[in-house]
Amino acid sequence: MNAQDVTRWQDMALQYGSELGVKVLAAIAFWVIGRWLIHQVGRIVQGTLERQKVDATLMRYLGTVINVTLNILLVIGILGYFGIQTTTFAALFAAAGVAIGMAWSGLLANFAGGVFLIILRPMKVGDFVSVAGITGTVKEVGLFTTAINTPDNVLTLVGNNKIFSDTIQNFSINAYRRVELKAQLSGAADHAAAMALLKEKIGLVPNVLATPPVEVEILEFNLVGPVLAVRPYCHNDHYWQVYFDTNRTIREALGAAGFPAPMPAQVVFVNQQ
């Protein structure tokens, strides 16, 4: 190899090295600027969501999704600048997304249900609800499951997709709720006097609301006698206290007033030949 060839190879190496160095410096600049822009986008999105009073859990998740997505696009853009074919990477990401979506379809469905629960807020922490066959107090509304404490103090986790696709009953939204009870009277009892007495006595039970007033009406009849529907109203926080106190009041008020005890009766006719 003569001196001319050596010089030519040196010039070529210097040229390619210079071009590679420029591309590396440009890639570093793209990375730094791109990361700065991603950070600014994240701040703008977070500020917008905070002004809209979006739930903090949802904000963190959206921030992570946006950050990861933009970083992937930035890396693909830098690889494309170096002349690397990015079509294959895009296809791989798409295939991975489809595979993960199929494998985690149930988990993603629960996530989607959690997003709707957080945004639409049919219930919140502290509400007494009945969802997906579970009744209790909401302890936490997560992205995938909702934690509910049942009245017997059992923590139950319910998938958000099951909650959102089923009927949701929220007993804490309204200012009051009705307690449904029954009182059996004897057929020989004065039902009008019993109804008036129960309205008066149950109205004195602690936490029973004056408005709406206590309802006591004849619900049905059976072989023993008339059955009264007894319906006091109270705030949801006092439901069980009013429920038990009203039952006790029914028993004590009717007994103290001398109403006959309801007893099953059967008339037998004997035909003597």
In this structure, what CATH number is given to the domain that contains residue 22?
1.10.287.1260
Range of the domain at 138: 122-170
- 200 within domain boundaries: yes
Same domain, 146 and 223: no
Domain count, the chain: 3
Most confident of 37-46, 83-92, 222-231: 222-231
Residue 24 within a domain: yes
Give yes or no: residues 162 and 193 share one domain. Answer: no
pLDDT exceeds cutoff 90 at 136: yes
Range with lowest mean pLDDT among 46-60, 65-79, 131-145, 153-167: 46-60
* CATH code for position 218: 3.30.70.100
> What pLDDT is attached to residue 149?
95
Higher pLDDT, 105 or 22: 22
Query: Are residues 211 and 194 part of one domain?
Result: yes
Report, as an integer, the average pLDDT of 225-254. 95
Q: How high is the pLDDT of residue 273?
A: 64
Mean local confidence (pLDDT), 65-87: 72
Within a domain: 148: yes
Domain identity same for 183 and 227: yes
Q: What is the DSSP string of the chain?
A: --HHHHHHHHHHHHHHHHHHHHHHHHHHHHHHHHHHHHHHHHHHHHHHHHHTT--HHHHHHHHHHHHHHHHHHHHHHHHHHTT---HHHHHHHHHHHHHHHHHTHHHHHHHHHHHHHHHH-SS-TT-EEEETTEEEEEEEE-SSEEEEE-TTS-EEEEEHHHHHTS-EEETTSSS-EE--EEEE--TTS-HHHHHHHHHHHHTTSTT--SSSPPEEEEEEE-SS-EEEEEE-EE-GGGHHHHHHHHHHHHHHHHHHTTPPPP-----------
pLDDT value of residue 240: 92
The pLDDT-based confidence of 17 (bands split at 50, 70, 90) is low
Does 198 score more than 90 pLDDT?
A: yes
Residue 104 scores a pLDDT above 60: no
CATH number of the domain bearing residue 138: 2.30.30.60
In a domain, 261, yes or no: no
Q: Does 1 fall in a domain?
A: no
